[in-house]
Amino acid sequence: MSFLAIEWNPSIGIDLGFFVIRWYSLMFVAAFLLGLHLMKKIYIEDKIPVEKLDTIFMYVFISMLIGMRLGDVFFYSWDYYQNHLLEIFLPFKQVNGTWKFTGFTGFASHGAAIGIPIAMYFYAKKHLSKPWLFILDRLGIMVALAGFFIRFGNFFNSEIYGKETGSNFGVIFKAKGEVVAKHPTQLYEAFSYLALFFVLWFLYWKTDKKKQTGYLFGLFTVVLWSLRFVIEFVKEPQVQQRGQEWFFSPLNTGQVLSIPLVLIGIWLMFRKVTK
C-alpha cells in the first residue's frame, strides 16, 4: 500500500442518536445559507429590495432539484427509468416486487444548468422587471460557490470520484471498497469552482463588467463547463454502457453536454449589446 495515498473512510455524518445529519446535507445547507448572505450584499448594491431574496431562494431551490433530477433521468439513466416511470419523482424503488424507501439517488448538474436559468427567466420578469441576464450574472457568482460545497459533499460521500492515478498519489476511497489510489475529482472541481467564485466576485465589485449584461454569466458558463469537460477525462464514467456505438466516442455524456454550454457562454461574453 502506498504511504503517499490518503485513505478516505469518513462517517456518513453527525450521529445525534435519534438522527444522523449527513455531511452532504450540511454542505447543501451551507451553500444556500452563505449564498443568501452574499446575495443580500449584491441586492443592496443593486438597490433591489432584500425581501425578494426569499422568492429567489424558492425559485432556485425548486428548479435546481427538478432540473438535477430530470437531468439524471434523461441524460444518464433513461434506459432504467423508461421502464420505471413512477420512480422518477417518488423516493421509492421496486426491489424484488416490493416498494422500498430509497430516497432520490440520482442527480445531474447539467439538468440544473437548464432548470435554473428557465426559472430565473420567470423570476426576473415577474419580480424584478429587469433583463433575464441581469439576475443570471449575479446568480452565477453564487452557483460557483455552491458548486464548491456540493462537490465537497460528494467527496464526503465517496462518490463520483476519478480513475486510478497509476501513481503513489491519490485517494483510496475505503467506503466504496477501493484498494488503490483514485483521482479525487470532487476536490479538483470543488477548488476550481471556489477559484471561479473569487474571480467573479472580484469582477462584480471591482470592475464595470457587471454593467455588460451577460458577461459575468457567460464567463461563469465558459469556465465552469470547460473545467468540467477537462476533469471528466480522469473521472469514472457515470454511464457505463457507452460502447463503440456511442457517436461521440471517446467523449462521455458529461463532456458532450458541456460543449453547448461553453459555446453559449462564449457568445454571451462577446456578443454586441445594443443600448
What is the amino acid identity at position 28? F
Peptide linkage before 250 cis (omega within 30 of 0): yes
pLDDT surpassing 50 at residue 1: no
CA distance to 159, 160, 189, 230, per residue, from 183 (Å): 11, 10, 11, 13
Residue position matching grid coordinates 477501493: 178
Grid coordinates representing 34 are: 452563505
What would the pLDDT profile of 25-66 be if each residue is shown by its tens digit? 888 889 989 999 999 999 999 999 999 998 998 999 899 889
DSSP line for 66-95: HHHHHHIIIII-HHHHTT-GGGGTSSEEEE
Separation of alpha carbons 3 and 148, rounded Å: 28
**Which range has highest mean pLDDT (57-71, 75-89, 178-192)?**
178-192
Backbone φ, ψ for residue 208 (5° rounding) = -95, 10
> What pLDDT is recorded for position 274?
60
Task: Provide the H-helix boundaries in 207-252.
Answer: 215-231
What would the pLDDT profile of 215-226 be if each residue is shown by its tens digit? 999 999 999 999
Strand ranges (DSSP E) for the chain? 6-8, 13-15, 20-22, 92-95, 98-101, 171-173
